Amino acid sequence: MALKGKSILLGVSGGIAAYKSAELVRLFTKAGATVQVVMTANARQFITPLTLQVLSGQPVCTNLFDLEFESQIGHIQVARAAHLAVLAPATANLIAKLAAGIADDYLTTVLLATTAPVLVCPAMNTKMYENLATQKNLETLRTYGHHIVEPSEGTLACKEEGTGRLAELPEILEVAGRILTPATLKGKQVLVSSGPTWERFDPVRFISNPSSGKMGYAIAQVAARRSAKVHLVSGPVSIPAPRGTTLHRVTSAMEMHDLITRLAPQMDVIVMAAAVSDYRPAQMLPQKAKKVGSDLTITLQNNPDILAQLGRSKPQAKQQILVGFAAETENLIENATSKLKAKNLDFIVANNLTQSGSGFGCDTNQVRIIDRSGDSTELPCLLKEEVAERIWDRIERLFQ
């Protein structure tokens, strides 16, 4: 996990969005990070240090002249310990001070002393955000190398509509993780397929499977976090596309086939995690089939085998890594190994759908990775994001 074991300095300044900092602390700690909160005097008017101290498990820094903490020059220790400084919310006032190099309280002093990357999350009234001075200050911070998560649009605390709301917390978390992740896939073109396909037999009915797309989306997310250029080809799912990916929505296996066939030659890595329907109705009825009392017979025909076609048509001019998935209910190793060889894969990720915590719809997965040499590595039951990390570690070793 990108944030596991990292030390996050969370700077909270005095805006109404300061109440969201409590949930942000919880999310960071849940992701395995240690959080050191530093608050401005104005922030304490919106949320108490005690709340953030309980959630973070760390004393909250507020007073630059605290005799006990500062006896060891505590603000320098805080600055040195941070892997990343996150300012959420960052008010117009804090942004202006940071741009000008002012250090007149605990937070701005720490920010001037730290060498950690800084992630600025503005939150303010729309007119304040659009003010030329604020925009100039943000541009100055970009020239310093600071990262900015733009605020979102919506109803503000002042009841106005516009840009200025603090970005969604999962987005802040993801950007923080990306900053702290080495760019090991920079320059690589990656294609990930995910989700189910729908094979219609009339305008309102279709044949499909229960794939949620969570595994494929996690694979795409981790690749983007490692700075790959990611094309995510997704069947119909209800989860948002990971930040930094190019999403291509498809419905049927034929649509997925045509799109992947077009994109594949330019890719350095293709990971086929989609649960593509093997069959489609031979004929789609023009109108909804009515229930008339007799049985309905649907004739099915084969869909093209996208993975096998990719294996046969690997480009000769470049090394292209091809990874497949095998969801089985029996004879896991035998069936997965057979698929690996038949489809010319570099390795295959196999899981037994009958195992607890594995398969469709789960947030976890328990897989076995099998390569061309026959080497088989069984992973414990992990979150799908952790499984994705292991898959990309394996792919990067192949490049090396």
Q: Which amino acids are annotated catalytic? A: 158
Count helices and strands (H / E) in the chain: 13, 21
Amino acid at 199: E
**What does 249-312 look like in DSSP terms, one character per residue?**
E--SHHHHHHHHHHHGGG-SEEEE--B--SEEES---SSPPP--SS-----EEEPP-HHHHHHH
70-80 burial string, b = 16+ CB within 10 Å, else e? beeebbeebbe
Give the residue from 128, 178, 183 showing the smallest Cα distance to 156: 128
181-196 b/e (C-beta count within 10 Å ≥ 16 → b):
beebbeebbbbbbbbb
C-alpha closest to that of 83 among 174, 10, 172, 173: 10
Supply 29's token pair.
């700690």
Distance CA 319, CA 189 (A): 12
Q: Which residues pair with 153 in a beta bridge?
A: 163
Answer yes or no: are the C-beta atoms of 31 and 59 closer than 8 Å: no
- Which residues make Cβ contacts (< 8 Å) with residue 268, sequence separation at least 6? 188, 189, 190, 318, 319, 320, 321
Which one, of 45, 49, 1, lies nearest residue 25 by Cα? 49
Please list, in sequence order, all residues whose beta carbon lies within 8 angstroms of the beta carbon of residue 9, skipping any fewer than 6 positions away.
36, 38, 78, 79, 81, 82, 84, 85, 86, 110, 114, 116
Burial 363-387 (b: 16+ CB within 10 A, else e): ebbbbbbbbeeeebeebeebbbbbb
Q: To the nearest 10°, report the CA torsion of 175, 101, 82, 150.
A: -10
**Amino acid in position 131:** N
Torsion, CA 114, CA 120, CA 125, CA 131, rounded to 10: 80
